[in-house]
Amino acid sequence: MSPQSRHPAGPPVAVFGAAGHTGRFVVAELRRRGIAPIAIARDAAALAAHFPGDEIPCRRASLDDAASLDRALAGAGAVVNCAGPFLDTAGAVAAAALRARAHYLDVTAEQASAQATLDSCDAAARDAGVVVLPAMGFYGGFADLLVTAALGDWDAADAIEIMIGLDSWHPTRGTRLTGARNTAPRLVVAGGQLAPLPLPPAETQWAFGEPLGTQAMVELPFSEIVLIARHVKTVELHTYLNSLALEDIRDPSTPPPQPADATGRSPQRFAVDAVVTRGAERRRIVARGRDIYAFTAPLVCEVAGRLLDGRFGSVGAQAPGAILDARAVLEALAPDHLSFEIKTA
């Protein structure tokens, strides 16, 4: 991968859940960008195992000990929460970030967690002069940025469909734990309102092109629904995941991801297509990349860097597409981590 431009010296970024699978990618990506990380976890032994030596400050903090969180976040300009289930962690970590007057980001795919963070943190974030961005990962913020970029100069849409295709899904332990915890009814936008996902979920086929080809798809919304609905007017908003990936994650014998190169990335390939329709016009954005967990790291770090630099529209609890230049964020990730193109018809 070609080097990113180095980030000017500034405040560090604290990573809660730094010893986890995605957290380790985030710490490594911050360092690669010249942003000083602070590695935080609930388990001091895990921190020592993954971050030996004294190059990276390591701090232990507990969710039920607000003072330990305050000590761990001291001096940070932003906090990236990578520790799921976020229904259990986001409230405490976001509150600590607000006390520290630091920007807060997490990578939840859980709709209920993202919605609760947006609803409960907005006023306090505005008072503190910071941004709270839940769901700034592959599931959630990525689709929000893709849809926002595809909309372009449109201020509304009749329908938005998001198609997510994976050639496999080897879930981490954190994904397994989150799936077991995340039992809230899933939401879509139907008739212009957030509404429960109809059961049984809709099925369709989608032609992704190479390398995935045509895939059987099942409607399965993630946290992007909550984010997009917060700032985009649309009558219908639906997300589909390919059946192959769904079968993988539903199989308890599917092993966790395995590294395939020196960066630790797995060989997993992904494609995300977002189609926005207004009247007879249709715009489609097509994005492709590798390893949904590893990809989350440059995505959330790119956004964290923009928050530290002041390259955003307004403070408060926000969706990324509402306050960031969506296309510029995506372009910053290409070609090292992402390829994308926008098509009109």
User: What is the DSSP-derived secondary structure letter of residue 280?
Assistant: T
Q: Which two tokens stand for residue 199?
A: 């059961």
How far lies 33's CA from each of 4, 134, 248, 263, in Å?
6, 22, 33, 15
> Would you state the pLDDT for residue 9?
67
Among 193, 190, 257, 187, CA closest to 226? 187
Q: Where are the domains of the chain?
A: 13-138+296-323, 141-292+337-344
> Would you state the pLDDT for residue 179?
87
What pTM does this model have? Answer: 0.96
Q: The dihedral of CA 259, 262, 267, 273: what is its sign? A: positive
Contact by Cβ (8 Å): 286, 340: yes
Q: b/e map of 65-102 (b: 16 or more CB within 10 Å)?
A: eeebbeebbeebbbbbbbbbbbbebbbbbbbbbbebeb
> Over the chain (345 residues), what is each successive 10-residue block's mean pLDDT?
53 98 98 97 95 92 98 98 96 98 98 98 98 98 98 97 98 92 93 97 96 97 98 98 97 96 96 98 97 98 98 98 98 96 87
- How many of the other CB atoms lie within 10 Å of CB of 280? 6
CATH number of the domain at 141-292+337-344, please? Answer: 3.30.360.10
Contact by Cβ (8 Å): 109, 171: no
> Would you state the pLDDT for residue 2?
36
> Would you state the pLDDT for residue 5?
46
CATH number of the domain at 13-138+296-323, please? Answer: 3.40.50.720
CA torsion 149→152→156→160, rounded to 10°? -40
| Cα angle for residues 16, 20, 21 (degrees, 5° grid) | 130
> Would you state the pLDDT for residue 46?
95
